[in-house]
């Protein structure tokens, strides 16, 4: 009989296989080889968003074509491309403050510029503003899940989202047409684990950065938007709901809060505490 210790030693290490940021909420993402972990999440992740005329946040739920905006890191900001057109998005914004709404939260943001707002309004064909969320501004995570008054950027609810590659592989084995990981917009992807084991993760480290699992992520219709075409369908949410439903939620991936700052990189080992 093989001892439990030997079985443990034979298990493949859990490694970070992908790191993603989404500078403007609900637009395309950027794959990073490494990223700085800040209290609100990865540096530059969801620090900007589009708001409509009522100052309400905009997402692919209502505007699936937002998936077609492609950001690229330039060193002093981001270049965002839509079809053949591009606009530069600087890191620093100094315009007037406005109050915007994201879910139940009212947040203080800055309009990047009237020119940026006009550019996005023309592309999406609806009046909107591009706004920035300064790092010093406050937005608390749900107090039921907070460890120590943690903050979040303009992400839906929590600073980070992690998904195991094995979880996606298991889902794709159930689908007629496989989907890619970008449907779920994670910050972190890892290999070496069992399907859905991240559901139960509590305290762990990635390199020297400590993390805490908060709660599995309830998924919405954004997962049905093809991130390459902007077309909306019914999968993979229909299949997920048949075996990953819990109450009125469909779960896939684990929300996280960082417990310490630092740098994480692809290939970093994930160590359970």
Domains of the chain: 4-272 (2.40.33.20)
Strands 160-164 and 188-191: parallel
Region of poorest pLDDT, from 42-46, 72-76, 137-141, 190-194: 72-76
DSSP state of 13: P
The pLDDT, as a whole number, for residue 176 is 97
In three-state secondary structure terms, 28 is coil
Strands 262-265 and 34-38: antiparallel
DSSP state of 234: S
Comparing C-alpha atoms, which of 261, 260, 242 is closest to residue 252? 242
In three-state secondary structure terms, 138 is coil
Query: Mean pLDDT over residues 59-66, rounded?
Result: 97
Q: Which residue's structure tokens are 């009237």?
A: 114
* C-alpha dist (Å) from residue 248 to 56, 83, 95, 219: 24, 37, 41, 10
3-state SS record for 79-93:
EEEECCEEEEEECCC
Query: Can you say whether the dihedral through the CA atoms of 165, 170, 173, 178 is positive or negative?
Result: negative
Instruction: Tell me how far apart the alpha carbons of residues 57 and 161 are, in angstroms, rounded to a whole number.
Output: 20
pLDDT band at 92 (very low <50, low <70, confident <90, very high): confident
Residue 238 tokens, joined: 């229909």
Alpha helices in the chain (DSSP H): 4-10, 114-124, 165-172, 237-243
pTM over 0.85: yes
CA dihedral defined by 206, 209, 214, 218, rounded to 10 degrees?
-60
Query: Phi, psi at residue 225, to the nearest 5°?
Result: -95, 120
* C-alpha dist (Å) from residue 31 to 23, 37, 266: 11, 15, 10
pLDDT band at 118 (very low <50, low <70, confident <90, very high): very high
Tens digit of pLDDT for each residue in 187-242? Answer: 999 999 999 999 999 999 998 999 999 999 999 999 999 999 999 999 999 999 99
């Amino acid at each position: 009989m093989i001892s439990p210790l030997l079985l443990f030693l034979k298990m493949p290490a859990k490694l970070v296989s992908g790191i993603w940021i989404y500078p403007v909420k609900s637009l395309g993402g950027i794959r990073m080889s490494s990223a700085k972990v800040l209290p609100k999440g990865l540096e530059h992740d969801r620090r900007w968003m589009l708001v409509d005329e009522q100052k309400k946040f905009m997402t692919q739920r209502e505007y699936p074509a937002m998936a077609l905006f492609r950001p690229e890191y330039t060193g002093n900001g981001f270049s965002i491309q839509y079809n053949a057109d591009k606009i530069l998005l600087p890191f620093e914004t100094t315009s007037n403050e406005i109050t915007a709404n994201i879910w139940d939260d009212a947040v203080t943001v800055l309009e990047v510029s009237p020119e940026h707002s006009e550019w996005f309004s023309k592309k999406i064909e609806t009046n909107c503003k591009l706004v920035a969320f300064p790092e010093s501004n406050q937005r608390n995570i749900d107090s039921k899940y907070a460890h120590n008054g943690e903050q979040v950027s303009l992400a839906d609810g929590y600073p980070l989202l992690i998904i195991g590659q094995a979880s996606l592989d298991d889902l794709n084995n159930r689908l007629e047409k496989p989907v890619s990981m970008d449907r779920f917009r994670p910050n972190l992807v890892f290999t070496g684990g069992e399907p859905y084991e991240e559901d139960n993760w509590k305290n762990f480290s990635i390199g020297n950065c400590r993390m805490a699992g908060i709660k599995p992520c309830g998924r919405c219709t954004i997962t049905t938007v093809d991130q390459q075409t902007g077309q909306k369908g019914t999968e993979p949410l229909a299949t997920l709901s048949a075996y990953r439903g819990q109450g009125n939620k469909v779960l896939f991936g684990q929300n996280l809060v960082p417990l310490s700052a630092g740098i994480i990189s692809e290939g970093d080992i994930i160590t359970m505490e």
